[in-house]
Amino acid sequence: MKVWRAVRKLLLAIAVLLGVWVLLEIIMRLYVDLPLKTDFYGSISREEVLARQAAAGVKVAAGPGWIHLGWIADPERESYRVERLAAGQWTEIGHSQFGSFLWRGDGGAFRVFAVPKGSGQPRLIGEVSAQPASGSPPLYRPVIAGPWQFLFQPRASGYYINDHTIFHDAEGNWRLVGITSKTDGDYNQERYFAVGVSKEFPPSAGMTEEAPIADFGELAWAPHVIKAGGSYHMFWSPHKLHQMDSADGITWANHRITLSAPYHRFFRDPMVLQVAEDQWLLYTTARGAYFSQVDVYQSFDLEGWQYIGTALRSGWGSERNSHFASMESPFVMHYQGRYYLSFTYNNDSFFWPGILLQFHIWLNPASYNETLVFHSDNPYDFGVYRGRHRSPTFVASLSAHAPEYVLHPDTGEWYITTAGWPWVATLTAGEVAVAPLKWELVSGR
């Protein structure tokens, strides 16, 4: 009897502890989730969809063994049927909820119908012809191939750099724009971007600081700059998509919010990749009901963005699934016909890492620099992460935080950067550092 009473007390204690743990998890998730707005129509309103749908039609991107069809979607009111012309007849090959369909098979003619969820007849959105490219691109592994060297650290506008972007301006100079504040890494104080400039890349003595930009009185995280249509376009977050334009990459104007509410919570760290003429993909950190993921949005004009799917999702076996999302700073590279998705794998699961973060406590500092890389033959789908040994698309782990990957247009050399909050970063102390990057052949397939 004494043994049984002891066992019951132990079981009761375990049940109480589990109950407290579950309660704290629920409280933390409610606390961080409830203030965040989500809406598929945060960029293109319901009223705009039909006109934009008619104007855009169906767009095509293609690569080795795949064809992607893209269009403007209205998932509240309709779904989409995709057909292919084969042997003189149209055959249904799939359905989609959003404005995206990835096809693996023979090319030819394709058409997309909008199918009303209520009454009404299907409506043709567009018909296109496309052929996949031939062959299978080789698989490479990115490797840090040399020591880190100093690149940039602000002194006037802030004391460190975290997420950042690097690009060539119209005057031929290299520019770095990145998160900063006059703290040792208080993300609530990060409300503008520091700017560094150099003639060469990487510069032997580092970049020179210029005046900060993008100070609009609210959080400003993870800038990303691309050049398209003769202009420069800057994107940043969190929780909504900010944009600005520039004719030269130096002076910026026309600040606006082009995505007021994302499809999933914890939208941040946007990165934009052009995949075809007048077609861009936006990769962002995100979180589903529990698991972390990298979402992908689509645009045909860099203004209207719509969620089309998850570029990489995680499942059971994945090590980190924070309330705040753990797949940070996504970046996609195209190398030798294959696409590579990189993200920094931060923010451990459960409620206590988020609480400790407020007190500048990071239990495993080495994990701050853990960046994972995945491969795919297309830019839309990088598979599922279930741990390193159960994820076929996992290809590399790099020791870097929020890295940018830079291809020098003159030398063809690749570089990788690292940065981060001074109170936790172990590779740097507030500065951005840069190192050479090499690609090692894994398979010729």
In a shared domain, residues 283 and 197: yes
The per-residue pLDDT for range 24-82, each reduced to its tens digit, is 888 888 889 989 999 999 999 999 999 999 999 999 999 999 999 999 999 999 999 99
**Could you tell me if residue 23 is inside a domain?**
no
How many domains, in total, are found in the chain? 2
Q: What is the mean pLDDT of residues 92-99?
A: 98
In a domain, 345, yes or no: yes
Residues 110 and 170 both lie in one domain: no
Each residue's pLDDT tens digit, 206-232: 999 999 999 999 999 999 999 999 999
Last residue of a domain, one of 98, 130, 162: 130
Does residue 266 share a domain with residue 207? Answer: yes
Q: Are residues 220 and 304 in the same domain?
A: yes
Considering the chain, what percentage of its residues have pLDDT values greater than 70?
100
264 and 395 part of one domain? yes
Answer yes or no: is 123 within a domain: yes
Which of 110, 130, 150 is at the close of a domain?
Answer: 130
Shared domain check, 371 and 276: yes
Residue 357 lies in a domain: yes
Regarding whether 372 and 313 lie in a shared domain, the answer is: yes
User: Do 121 and 203 lie in a common domain?
Assistant: no
CATH of residue 215's domain is: 2.115.10.20
pLDDT digits (tens, 9 = 90+) for 142-194: 999 999 999 999 999 999 999 999 999 999 999 999 999 999 999 999 999 99
Over residues 98-113, mean pLDDT: 97
pLDDT of residue 14: 87
- In tens, the pLDDT along 276-327 reads 999 999 999 999 999 999 999 999 999 999 999 999 999 999 999 999 999 9
pLDDT tens column, 374-420: 999 999 999 999 999 999 999 999 999 999 999 999 999 999 999 99
On whether both 240 and 113 belong to a single domain, the answer is no
Q: Is the pLDDT of residue 10 over 90?
A: no
What is the pLDDT at residue 208? Answer: 98
Assigned domain for 1 exists: no
Query: Quick check: is 20 in a domain?
Result: no
Q: Is the pLDDT of residue 249 over 60?
A: yes
Averaged confidence pLDDT in the chain: 96
pLDDT above 60: residue 271: yes
Q: What CATH code is carried by the domain that includes residue 78?
A: 2.60.40.10
Q: Is residue 415 part of a domain?
A: yes
Q: What backbone phi and psi angles, to 5 degrees, belong to 25? A: -60, -45
Q: Which domain holds residue 430?
A: 139-443
Whether residues 246 and 326 share a domain: the answer is: yes
Say if residue 258's pLDDT is above 80: yes
Return the pLDDT at 1: 67
Confidence category of residue 84, pLDDT binned at 50, 70, 90: very high
Q: Which residues contact 15 (CB under 8 A, 6 or more apart)?
A: none
Confidence of residue 97 (pLDDT cuts 50, 70, 90): very high
Three-class SS of the chain: CHHHHHHHHHHHHHHHHHHHHHHHHHHHHHHHHCCCCCCCCCCCCHHHHHHHHHHHCCEEEEEECEEEEECCCCCCCEEEEEEEEECCEEEEEEEECCCEEEECCCCEEEEEEEEECCCCCCEEEEEEEECCECCCCCEEEEEECCCCEEEECCCCCCCCCCCEEEEECCCCCEEEEEECCCCCCCHHHCCCEEEEEECCCCCCCCCEEEEEECCCCCCCEEEEEEEECCEEEEEEECCCEEEEEECCCCCCEEEEEEECCCCCEEEEEEEEEEEECCEEEEEEEEECCCCEEEEEEEECCCCCCEEEEEEEEECCCCCCCCCCCCEEEEEEEEECCEEEEEEEECCCCCHHHHHHHCCCCCCCHHHHHEEEEEEECCCCCCCEECCHHHCCCEEEEEECCCCCEEECCCCCCEEEEECCCCCCCCCCCCCEEEEEEEEEEEECC
Q: Which of 107, 130, 153 is the last residue of a domain?
A: 130
Q: Are residues 181 and 159 in the same domain?
A: yes
What is the band of 445 on the pLDDT scale with cuts at 50, 70, 90? low
Are 263 and 329 found together in one domain? yes
Q: What's the mean pLDDT in 83-98?
A: 96
Check residue 443 and give its pLDDT: 84
Instruction: Let me know if residue 6 belongs to a domain.
Output: no
